[in-house]
Amino acid sequence: MVNPCIPLNTIRTNGTLKMEQKGEILYITLPLQSKVLSFQNMINDFAADVQITDNITFTDENLQEKIVNNYVEKQIIDSEPPKFINIFYNRIAYDKNFSRVIKNSNAIDIDNKLEVDLRKIFNSEEKILYQIVSAVVHIGNSADCGHYVSVVKKNEKWYICNDSSVKIISNPINELAHGSIFLLERIDK
Protein backbone atom coordinates (compact mmCIF):
# COMPACT_ATOMS: atom_id res chain seq x y z
CA MET A 1 0.00 0.00 0.00
CA VAL A 2 1.26 3.49 -0.86
CA ASN A 3 1.88 5.76 2.12
CA PRO A 4 -0.38 8.81 1.58
CA CYS A 5 1.91 10.99 3.74
CA ILE A 6 4.84 10.78 1.31
CA PRO A 7 4.92 13.89 -0.92
CA LEU A 8 4.54 13.46 -4.64
CA ASN A 9 7.30 14.37 -7.03
CA THR A 10 5.37 15.28 -10.17
CA ILE A 11 6.51 16.62 -13.51
CA ARG A 12 4.02 17.83 -16.09
CA THR A 13 4.76 19.11 -19.58
CA ASN A 14 2.05 20.94 -21.51
CA GLY A 15 -0.46 19.66 -18.95
CA THR A 16 0.51 16.02 -19.59
CA LEU A 17 1.71 13.94 -16.67
CA LYS A 18 5.21 12.67 -17.42
CA MET A 19 6.41 11.39 -14.03
CA GLU A 20 4.88 11.00 -10.63
CA GLN A 21 6.40 9.34 -7.58
CA LYS A 22 4.24 7.87 -4.83
CA GLY A 23 6.20 6.14 -2.10
CA GLU A 24 8.24 3.29 -3.51
CA ILE A 25 6.70 3.46 -7.00
CA LEU A 26 7.63 5.91 -9.75
CA TYR A 27 5.14 6.28 -12.62
CA ILE A 28 6.51 7.35 -16.02
CA THR A 29 4.60 8.01 -19.24
CA LEU A 30 6.62 7.64 -22.44
CA PRO A 31 5.30 9.44 -25.53
CA LEU A 32 4.21 7.67 -28.69
CA GLN A 33 7.17 6.96 -30.97
CA SER A 34 6.84 6.79 -34.74
CA LYS A 35 10.02 4.78 -35.21
CA VAL A 36 11.09 1.49 -33.67
CA LEU A 37 13.27 2.10 -30.65
CA SER A 38 14.93 0.03 -28.01
CA PHE A 39 13.42 0.21 -24.54
CA GLN A 40 16.72 1.75 -23.34
CA ASN A 41 16.68 4.43 -26.06
CA MET A 42 13.09 5.35 -25.23
CA ILE A 43 14.18 5.96 -21.61
CA ASN A 44 17.23 7.97 -22.74
CA ASP A 45 15.12 10.09 -25.11
CA PHE A 46 12.61 10.73 -22.34
CA ALA A 47 15.36 11.93 -19.96
CA ALA A 48 17.21 14.02 -22.57
CA ASP A 49 17.36 17.79 -22.16
CA VAL A 50 14.78 19.56 -24.30
CA GLN A 51 15.48 23.06 -25.60
CA ILE A 52 12.33 25.21 -25.24
CA THR A 53 12.10 28.46 -27.21
CA ASP A 54 8.59 29.53 -26.10
CA ASN A 55 8.21 32.34 -23.61
CA ILE A 56 7.36 31.31 -20.07
CA THR A 57 6.34 33.62 -17.24
CA PHE A 58 7.34 32.83 -13.66
CA THR A 59 7.51 34.66 -10.35
CA ASP A 60 10.95 35.02 -8.76
CA GLU A 61 11.83 35.02 -5.04
CA ASN A 62 10.99 38.77 -4.84
CA LEU A 63 7.53 38.10 -6.30
CA GLN A 64 8.48 39.88 -9.51
CA GLU A 65 7.17 38.44 -12.77
CA LYS A 66 9.87 37.45 -15.21
CA ILE A 67 9.60 36.27 -18.79
CA VAL A 68 12.11 33.71 -19.96
CA ASN A 69 12.62 32.20 -23.38
CA ASN A 70 15.18 29.76 -24.62
CA TYR A 71 15.44 27.49 -21.61
CA VAL A 72 16.19 23.81 -21.11
CA GLU A 73 13.61 21.44 -19.68
CA LYS A 74 14.97 18.46 -17.76
CA GLN A 75 12.92 15.41 -16.87
CA ILE A 76 14.83 13.98 -13.94
CA ILE A 77 14.00 12.80 -10.46
CA ASP A 78 16.22 14.23 -7.75
CA SER A 79 15.73 11.48 -5.19
CA GLU A 80 16.73 7.92 -4.44
CA PRO A 81 15.63 5.42 -7.10
CA PRO A 82 12.52 3.61 -5.85
CA LYS A 83 12.13 -0.16 -5.66
CA PHE A 84 9.59 -0.23 -8.52
CA ILE A 85 8.92 1.84 -11.61
CA ASN A 86 5.74 1.63 -13.65
CA ILE A 87 6.24 2.72 -17.25
CA PHE A 88 3.29 3.44 -19.49
CA TYR A 89 4.24 3.52 -23.18
CA ASN A 90 1.55 5.44 -25.02
CA ARG A 91 0.78 3.44 -28.16
CA ILE A 92 -2.37 5.40 -29.03
CA ALA A 93 -2.69 8.63 -31.04
CA TYR A 94 -5.47 10.58 -32.69
CA ASP A 95 -5.16 10.84 -36.47
CA LYS A 96 -6.68 14.21 -37.40
CA ASN A 97 -6.58 13.41 -41.13
CA PHE A 98 -8.96 10.46 -40.74
CA SER A 99 -10.67 11.52 -37.48
CA ARG A 100 -9.86 8.27 -35.72
CA VAL A 101 -7.72 6.77 -32.98
CA ILE A 102 -4.77 4.73 -34.22
CA LYS A 103 -2.47 2.25 -32.47
CA ASN A 104 1.28 1.96 -32.90
CA SER A 105 1.88 -1.80 -33.07
CA ASN A 106 5.63 -1.55 -33.68
CA ALA A 107 7.67 -3.91 -31.55
CA ILE A 108 10.03 -2.40 -28.99
CA ASP A 109 13.58 -3.75 -29.05
CA ILE A 110 14.08 -5.21 -25.57
CA ASP A 111 17.45 -6.30 -24.20
CA ASN A 112 17.75 -10.09 -23.71
CA LYS A 113 18.55 -9.58 -20.03
CA LEU A 114 15.36 -7.48 -19.74
CA GLU A 115 17.43 -4.79 -18.02
CA VAL A 116 17.29 -1.04 -18.46
CA ASP A 117 19.69 1.58 -17.06
CA LEU A 118 17.82 4.57 -15.60
CA ARG A 119 20.83 6.68 -14.60
CA LYS A 120 19.71 9.55 -16.86
CA ILE A 121 16.33 9.85 -15.16
CA PHE A 122 18.04 10.00 -11.75
CA ASN A 123 20.87 12.26 -13.01
CA SER A 124 23.51 9.75 -11.89
CA GLU A 125 26.97 8.92 -13.19
CA GLU A 126 26.65 5.31 -11.99
CA LYS A 127 24.39 2.68 -13.54
CA ILE A 128 20.97 2.33 -11.94
CA LEU A 129 19.67 -0.99 -13.23
CA TYR A 130 16.07 -2.14 -13.33
CA GLN A 131 14.66 -5.36 -14.71
CA ILE A 132 11.30 -5.82 -16.41
CA VAL A 133 9.21 -8.11 -14.20
CA SER A 134 5.80 -7.78 -15.85
CA ALA A 135 3.90 -6.12 -18.66
CA VAL A 136 0.41 -5.57 -19.95
CA VAL A 137 0.08 -6.28 -23.67
CA HIS A 138 -2.77 -5.29 -25.99
CA ILE A 139 -3.36 -7.94 -28.64
CA GLY A 140 -5.03 -6.54 -31.74
CA ASN A 141 -4.18 -4.22 -34.61
CA SER A 142 -6.69 -1.52 -33.72
CA ALA A 143 -7.12 0.80 -30.76
CA ASP A 144 -10.87 0.16 -31.08
CA CYS A 145 -10.82 -3.53 -30.30
CA GLY A 146 -8.57 -6.28 -29.03
CA HIS A 147 -7.67 -8.10 -25.85
CA TYR A 148 -5.29 -7.48 -22.94
CA VAL A 149 -2.97 -10.11 -21.47
CA SER A 150 -0.32 -9.93 -18.77
CA VAL A 151 3.21 -11.27 -18.94
CA VAL A 152 4.56 -11.88 -15.44
CA LYS A 153 7.80 -13.15 -13.93
CA LYS A 154 7.42 -15.23 -10.77
CA ASN A 155 10.05 -17.46 -9.16
CA GLU A 156 12.37 -17.01 -12.16
CA LYS A 157 9.70 -18.31 -14.59
CA TRP A 158 7.67 -16.26 -17.05
CA TYR A 159 3.90 -16.64 -17.42
CA ILE A 160 1.33 -15.29 -19.82
CA CYS A 161 -2.01 -14.65 -18.12
CA ASN A 162 -5.01 -14.58 -20.41
CA ASP A 163 -8.35 -14.37 -18.58
CA SER A 164 -8.81 -17.84 -17.06
CA SER A 165 -5.63 -19.45 -18.45
CA VAL A 166 -2.06 -19.10 -17.23
CA LYS A 167 0.76 -20.66 -19.26
CA ILE A 168 4.52 -20.82 -18.77
CA ILE A 169 6.49 -19.22 -21.60
CA SER A 170 10.18 -19.84 -22.18
CA ASN A 171 11.09 -16.53 -23.84
CA PRO A 172 8.96 -13.46 -22.97
CA ILE A 173 10.78 -11.06 -25.34
CA ASN A 174 8.18 -11.40 -28.13
CA GLU A 175 5.27 -10.59 -25.84
CA LEU A 176 7.12 -7.85 -23.93
CA ALA A 177 8.07 -6.15 -27.23
CA HIS A 178 4.39 -5.30 -27.71
CA GLY A 179 3.75 -4.14 -24.14
CA SER A 180 2.06 -0.90 -23.14
CA ILE A 181 2.52 -0.97 -19.36
CA PHE A 182 5.71 -2.27 -17.78
CA LEU A 183 6.64 -2.91 -14.16
CA LEU A 184 10.36 -2.65 -13.47
CA GLU A 185 12.09 -3.72 -10.26
CA ARG A 186 15.38 -2.21 -9.13
CA ILE A 187 18.33 -4.59 -9.23
CA ASP A 188 20.19 -4.05 -5.98
CA LYS A 189 23.95 -4.23 -6.09
End-to-end CA distance of the chain: 25
Residues 40 and 47 sit within 8 Å (Cβ to Cβ): no
Q: Which among 32, 1, 33, 27 has a CA at the least distance from the CA of 12?
A: 27
Which CATH fold topology does 25-47+82-186 show? Answer: Cathepsin B; Chain A (3.90.70)
Q: How large a percentage of the chain has pLDDT more than 70?
A: 72
The least confident of 33-47, 66-80, 105-119 is 66-80
Region of residue 149 (left: phi > 0; alpha: psi -120 to 50; beta: else): beta
Instruction: Return the pLDDT at 10.
Output: 42
The pLDDT of residue 182 is 94
Q: What percent of the chain has pLDDT over 90?
A: 27
The predicted pLDDT at position 52 comes to 59
For the chain, the domains span 25-47+82-186
CA 87 and chain centroid, separation? 3
Q: What is the pLDDT of residue 161?
A: 96
- Of residues 178 and 189, more confidence is placed in 178
pLDDT at 141: 80
* Mean pLDDT score, 118-123: 84
- Claim: this prediction has a pTM higher than 0.85: no
Nearest in space to 89 (alpha carbons), one of 123, 46, 121, 118: 46
User: Looking at the predicted structure, is the pLDDT value of residue 82 above 80?
Assistant: yes
